[in-house]
Structures are given as C-alpha cells and as structure tokens.
Structure 1
Amino acid sequence: MELQQMRYVLAVAETGNFTRAARQCLVVQSALSHQIAALERELGAKLFARTSRRVALTAAGEAFLPAARACLEAAERAAADAAAATGEIRGRLAVGIIPTVTGIDLPATLREFHHAHPRVRIVLRSAGSDDLTAAIRAGDVDVAVLGLPETTEPRGVRFRALNHDKHVAVVARDHRLAALDRVDLPTLAVEPFADFPAATAGRAQSDLAFAAAGLERTVAFEAMSTDLIIGLIRQGLAVALLPARFVAGIPGLETIPVTDGPGRVEYLAWSDFNPTPAAVAFLRSAGVSPVS
C-alpha cells in the first residue's frame, strides 16, 4: 500500500469523479484508475461503486477513508517535522476565521508569513467561534480568530485576547433611528433584526444583552454571511448589532452607539497539544508566544 494510492482514493472520494480526481492529482485518469484498482486487489475489497455516470464509496471505502486520511496527515507531519529540524518550515497551516475579524490584520499577517515560509500550504476556514474551537480541539484547525461575549472565554484551547469591542446598532441611512446620537435596547427591541444563526457565539453576544434587559426581539433573518446581513440592512429590511470596529466606514449604513449594548472579546486561539512547526511559526509572526 502506497501513500500515493491513498491520495488518489481521497481525491476520488472528495470529487466524486475519477476524471476530476486525476486532474486534481495532476495525473492521467488511466494511471489513477490503475493504482486504485491495484489497491482494491491488495485489500480484497472494492472501495468505490462505479457506473458510467456515478461513483460512490462502498462500505469498505467508507471504513478505509478515516485511517487513510490520518495516515496521509501523519506522513505530511513527519516530513514537516524533519524539515523544521533543518530550519525549514513547510506542511499545512489551517487558519480559522470568524466573519467579523478586527483584532488582527489577517491578510497582512498571512502575507508576512507566506513570504517567510513559502512552502507552507495555507488553508482558510470560515465558521462560527464554537465550531472553530471544536476544530482546534479535534486537530482540524491549527489557529483561529474567535469572537465571544465579554463573559465567556474559549474552552479547551490556548488563547490570547486581541481586543475588546462594543456593539453598535447598524441601520440604513433612511431608517427612522438613523439620526439618533444614541439608542437603547428597548428602542431597538421593536425592530426586525438580522443576526447570526441561533446558538452561535456571534448571536449569543446580542441574545445575552436582550435577555439581561428582560427584552424579547424578533430575528427576522439569520445568516453567517456579514455581506448578506449588511445587504439586508441597506435594503431597510432589518437592523443589527455588530462590532463597532467591523462596521466602521462601511458605506450606506449608519451606526449608533447603544447605551446598554453588548460587547465582545476577540481572541487568537490554538492548541498546545503538539502544534505543528507551521502553527508555531504563524503564532510567532502574529506576535504570540505559543508556549507560556
């Protein structure tokens, strides 16, 4: 059994197509098909069910995939560790980001990191803070930017606070509240809201504030995309509470300080369980010591 055969199996499983998998692996389809067939003969089981129009994993293929993926990751880590021992950083760096990053200039940090370590393959993953924290603990993400309510800290990961920020009310320029110098939660509670999905950390920041004030509100639109939320606000369909630094200067909107509004803390988080050389190098480029 060879590592390349495992890569081919993963590529077919991900693309659902032998032709696309071969293109992804930069080989001709006949070579990829031959290697997978050889692996199936060695295993004594078919990994894929094939027709002229469809490719799907068999039960054996489903069982084979997790260990094959772990094997490839271990091989990649072994190569990265060996290279790091000679002073070269390479391998994979998975960076998780929330939709409202303000505590770090991530493009500039990634640019500096990429110039210093061009052989590192950088993967960006956008998700909510809870999902990213779980991904760090599972080893699927190396480092992540999180945003949490002021009363909450990341759990099960190492972290450093990047900044504290207050939420502001965000409304369209022709909204009835747009001319106010300040607004309170009771005034906002009667408005339809656009917000992040329920049970996410981004949503909790506002939910906790309204609950503490004994108020209920209507979240008419839920989305993880800040572009969509901002578009809904511009159309006059909703208002939102968003971090002040994030919405500063966005055209077509008015932002209003909230007297009793929520705040959040933005964190850079990572796992201290056997971090990869690339993760350690990235944290240092971000001004963070990965070890206490």
Structure 2
Amino acid sequence: MLDHQTLLYLGLDVVIAIALLALMRWAYELWSSIDSDDQLAGKDNFAYGISIAGSLLALSIVLWSAAERASGDDYLSRAMQMLVYGLVGFVLIKVGRWAHDRLILNRFNKRDEILKKNISVALVDAASSLATALIIRSVLLWSEGFNINSGIAIITGFVIALAVMLVTTRLMERRFARDNQNDSMQDTLVLGQLALAVQHGGYLIGTAFAATAASHMLTYQGQAYITNLLVWLGVGVLFTLLTVMLSRLTKAFILRGIDCAKEVDHQHNVGVASIDASLTIGMALILSGLIA
C-alpha cells in the first residue's frame, strides 16, 4: 500500500504539473498577445487550439520525464526537482518555438498564420514542440544528478533538438523544391497544404526519436560538455539521415506504384502523407529500439 508520505509526494507533483500546464497556456496567450478564450470559443480557431495543444503535450512529456527522473530521500526534494525540471522544460519549449520560427521556418509569420486559422502551420508548430520535448526527455533520463552539470546536459539536448529539426526541414525543403520546380515548401504551408504539414510533422517527430539514439550509445560524463554535445549532435544528425533514407526505402515497398510526391504535393492526399509520416516515426522507433 502507498504510505502517507508517498501520497503526499504524488499529490504535490500533480499540483505542480497542473500549475505548470496552466502557466503554459497563460504564457502562450501573453507571448502572442492573443485572447485565447476568444480564439478558442468565440472564433472557433482550430489552428490556435492545435498550436496550444502541441505546447501542452510537449510540456506534459517533459513533466513525465521529470517525474521519472526525480530522486531524493524525502518528498520535498523530489517535488523540488519536479518543479525545477518542469520550469526548465517550460522555458526551453518556449524558446524553442521562438527559435524554430526565426531560424527554421523563417519565411512567414507563424502568429499571423495561426490567427488566419491556418491549420497546416499549426500542425507543424505542434510537431516542432513535440520533437523538442522528446529530445529533452531523452537527455533528462540519460543525465545523472541534480546539479549544474545535468542542467548543461539539458541545454545540450535543446541545442541538438534545434539542429535535428533544422536538418530535417532543410532536407524536406530540398526534396520539395526538386520535385516542384523549385517551389518553396514554406510558401506552400502558408497556402494551407494540409498533406504537406502532416508529412513534415511526422518527419520532425520521427527524427526526434532517432536523435535519442545517443542516450543508448553515450555514457553520461557530467563535465564532458563538449564531448557530450558533439557526440549527441553527431549521432543525432547521423540517425536523422539514416531514418530518412530507411523511411524512403520502406515507403518504396509499402507504397509501391504510388507517386508519393505527386499525391502529397499536388493532390494534397492526406492519407498518403499520414502513411509517410507513420513510416518515418516507425523506422525511428525501430532504430532506437535496436540499439537500446
């Protein structure tokens, strides 16, 4: 049976989690200067809801990891770790969204597109938040201790997440331009191409899972900052490329006879895009499991 102290710890953690999730919604509204109640209930802006949902789920993934990661002799120290890791994850998710908008999908204004109810942009935005959270989760569970070294490890994971998303997006843009007479993938997302958004979102999440492979290959060394960063980055990019290649190979067999580029890019076939996304995520999970 659960003792009194354990029940108190669990209750405190639940309160912390709910408070941080509420803070995430409030911060989203403050950051974007948007009345969320009006967007969600007044204007029925599905894109806005999808974007917030991505942030909330991303923070929940970080809190899930923090709850698993927290250790200590008493419930107060463990709850404090939960709070600190949750706040760090909260900040990194917000900063990650900002960096993604400025560095990766930098050809349009995400806020304006979401206010225009652009579901395609919202889906990619949500996927980028989830990808960031998945890599932060793997670094949280890989690192040891509750100190400055583990904090630097988490920031390292954040940098890796951005690098992986940048590589994935640029590869997708290159493929899209090649198959569409040098058209811009980002401009097409602005036009509301839902199939392309589903495909790209799957690639972001899949390669995030692939990047976590480093946690199975690298022994944690608290003060080996440069080594940790370079190995995680190298393995992350390597497995990102491997995941993309294997998913394309798998797609060639499973969707044999179907021109995926034509179906997704020109005919906006969300079904084919969903299969493509699932194969990318699936191959990343299989690769990660093989080296675990």
Pairwise same-fold verdict (TM > 0.5): no
TM-score for both structures, normalised by structure 2: 0.22
Structure (1/2) with the larger strand percentage:
1
Structure (1/2) with the larger helix percentage:
2
TM-score for both structures, normalised by structure 1: 0.22
Bigger Cα Rg:
1
